[in-house]
Amino acid sequence: MRAVVTGAAGFIGSHLCAYLLACGDEVVGVDAFTDYYEPAVKERNLAPMMSSGAFSLQRVDLLTADLGVLLAGADVVYHLAGQPGVRPSWGAEFRTYAALNVLATQAVLEAARGRRLRKLVYASSSSVYGDAASYPTAETLRPQPASPYGVTKLAAEHLCELYRSGFGVPTVSLRLFTVYGPRQRPEMAFARLVAAAASGGSFPLYGDGEQSRDFTYVTDVVTAMRDAACSDFTGVANIGGGCRTTMREVISVVEELVGPVEIVRLPAQRGDVRHTGADITVAAGAFGYRPRTRLAEGLAAMVAGHGSPSEVASVGQ
């Protein structure tokens, strides 16, 4: 298939591009290389793919680019671009989140309108649920975001559903639960934890450590994205790792792999939910999703790749 991947240079986007190429797809990567974190990191993410004749990169902003040209000939659009992060999404920064997560998604959907796409896969987030009323959480539960970031991800989901029902754009919104793995963004908890363990530095733990997440390995996520694109399914589906784990337990696993970690305890942050847990019944039935990577395996891959851009680029692909 000919695939367009927005946010191609990011953590998940770069893994997706590599996976699609390995499946024999032609890939057009689209990225604005914003400065949310160091653009040089994103350059390294894509370096292994730049020599492939089946990969091309477009350095453009979705809000100003001619998206009709970018989507020309595409079979599938994977829309991963956006502004990440729960904690920075408050206050004046919300303007950026609204632009890059909502307005950019509407621009992509409008460009997709009327095209003969096989699928448009949108990378949503478990943040849309907020502090869910039950676990594991099913898609039928009413979303109640606990952060402005979650609000923008849910708004973009609603746009996908509107363009699906109103114009026949075949959209799939995948609610991703705490994705981790090699090349994880440097400000994310696992990346900071592995770096602290490897360097002998300290790790800031927000809250009491009993908060839990449904951690999902990045290779399982990108496999799910392509499987969803190849299926007949449209709508909304959870993608989780299959097991809730507390941060205390995660720290213990990393200490077993690397050694003791100095923990700096800090108050819980506004917008951080207490627990997440995915009911993956819909994804399992619709396109055969099942998580294949245990947490200890995934963390070992992160540890193995830490500190070496070439190794980080190859682990998990």
Q: How many Å apart are CA 191 and CA 177, to the nearest integer?
A: 16
Phi, psi for 214 (deg, rounded to 5): -95, 85
Which residues, 6+ apart, have CB-to-CB distance to 137 below 8 Å?
Answer: 126, 129, 238, 276, 277, 278, 279
Q: Find out whether 244 and 275 touch, Cβ atoms under 8 Å.
A: yes
Single out the catalytic residue among 19, 149, 180, 217.
Answer: 149
Which residue, 27, 29, 38, is CA-closest to 6?
A: 29
Per DSSP (E only), the strands in the chain are 2-6, 26-30, 55-58, 76-79, 119-125, 171-176, 179-180, 202-206, 212-214, 216-217, 235-239, 244-246, 262-266
Q: Is 289 a catalytic residue?
A: no
Residue 147 region, left (φ>0) first, then alpha (ψ -120 to 50), else beta?
A: beta
User: Residue with structure tokens 């902003």?
Assistant: 61
ω into 88 cis (within 30 of 0): no
Count other C-beta atoms under 10 Å from residue 237's C-beta: 25
CB 228 within 8 A of CB 119: yes
CB 155 within 8 A of CB 124: no
The residues annotated with a catalytic role in the active site are 149
